[in-house]
Chains A and B, each alone.
Chain A
Amino acid sequence: MSRMFSQAAAVLAAIAGLAAQPAFAATPDEVLATIKKEAAATPGFQGFSAARGETFFKEKHGGEWSCTSCHTDNPAAPGKHAKTSKTIQPLAPSANPERFTDMTKVEKWFKRNCNDVLSRACTAQEKGDVLTYLLTVRK
């Protein structure tokens, strides 16, 4: 009887363990590799740069907002929506392991936010630079 219980407990623990695992489809490095594949198709591509990504992240691009308007100057810190003031979880993967683990989500937000900040879509080069920068940010 007690053996049955311990077996059942083991099965339950295993299920709980599975359920507790975050359903991340990819790692930030895999997401970066996907963006790199796209960028490499552009003639003259010479890789990504964290320094260029940081400048891009912190500068305005002709509009009212920069990336930092919501994500702040420190991507490892929580941000705040520029209009609604709602808290935005940190963007840097070092501070928020959920970031850049789902390619669909990554594309959705680049599309939206690039439109808000640059009034156009970002190039693969720009996205790769920004992610390369974000991956260098420590907590």
Chain B
Amino acid sequence: MLFDYRKFPRALVAALLLMCLAIPAAHAEDDDDEEEGFGFAIVTNAKWKAECGTCHVAFPPHMLPVGSWRAVMAGLEKHFGSDASLDAATSKEIGLFLETYANRRGSEPTAKPLLRITESRWFRSEHREVSSRVWSSPKVKSPANCAACHTRAEEGRFGEHDIRIPRV
């Protein structure tokens, strides 16, 4: 006997369709929390990506507080030992982007802003299980080399699922 779709209860069809829609949505929501970490949304800006992402991964704005970004942007001529200077218009746009999405959760020390993300309390805490052998491995070389372990760092994704620590 052939299946008569006309007899199939409409309510059931509707429910099934709704479930199909609802499952990926729920999954995506779950992903956001898991993948991005700390519940920060992934934000982007073309100039930030191009200028800050040439020599290292373009570090997401939420990794430092406002005062730190201001200090970083004011010191680009000597940026951790390299000249990373920008023209005024580009610098202004990137500075605004960084400040808009900077980390505002912690209390910010006003005296001397922290310049290195790796010295942040949250960074140390998140990486406390990483052995010194991994840090000094030639495959990692610098703690600024996020992509050595965070396979999707370029996309701004630093969640647990996207970590592959190289064998040392």
Count chain B CB atoms within 10 A of each CB in A84, A86, A113, A116 and give the residue with the most. A84
B120 within 8 A of A: no
Contact-residue size bin, chain B (C-beta under 8 Å from the other chain): 10 to 19
What is the interface residue range for chain A against chain B? Answer: 10 to 19
Which of B55, B57, B87, B148 gathers the greatest number of chain A CB atoms within 10 Å? B55
- Which of A84, A85, A86, A111 is the one whose CB lies under 8 Å from B85? A111
Asked if B83 and A84 make an inter-chain contact with CB atoms under 8 angstroms apart, the answer reads: no
Bitwise, A54-69 to B at CB < 8 A (1) or not (0) is 0000000000000000
Does B56 make an interface contact (CB < 8 A)?
yes
Q: Please tell me which one of the listed residues A85, A111, A113, A116 contacts residue B142 in the complex, with CB atoms under 8 A apart.
A: A85
Task: Enumerate chain B residues within 8 angstroms of A115, measured Cβ to Cβ.
Answer: 77, 83
Evaluate contact between A83 and B81: CB separation under 8 angstroms.
yes
Q: Is the CB of B56 within 8 A of A86?
A: yes
Contact with B along A74-104 (1 / 0, CB 8 A): 0000000101111000000000000000000
Contacts of B83 in A (CB 8 A): 111-113, 115-116
List B residues 56-86 near A (Cβ within 8 Å).
56-57, 77, 80-86
Partner of A112, one of B57, B80, B85, B144: B85
Cβ of B141 < 8 Å from any Cβ of A?
yes
Could you say which of B82, B86, B148 contacts A83, with CB atoms under 8 Å apart? B82
Min CB gap A80→B, angstroms? 10
Tell me the A residues contacting B by CB distance below 8 Å: 81, 83-86, 108, 111-113, 115-116
Q: Chain B: residues with CB nearer than 8 A to chain A?
A: 54-57, 77, 80-87, 141-142, 144-145, 147-148
8 cross-chain pairs, A with B, having the tightest CB-CB distances, nearest first? A115-B83, A112-B83, A84-B56, A85-B141, A81-B55, A84-B144, A116-B82, A85-B145
A-B residue pairs in contact (CB < 8 Å), sample of 7: A84-B56, A85-B141, A85-B142, A86-B57, A112-B85, A116-B81, A116-B83
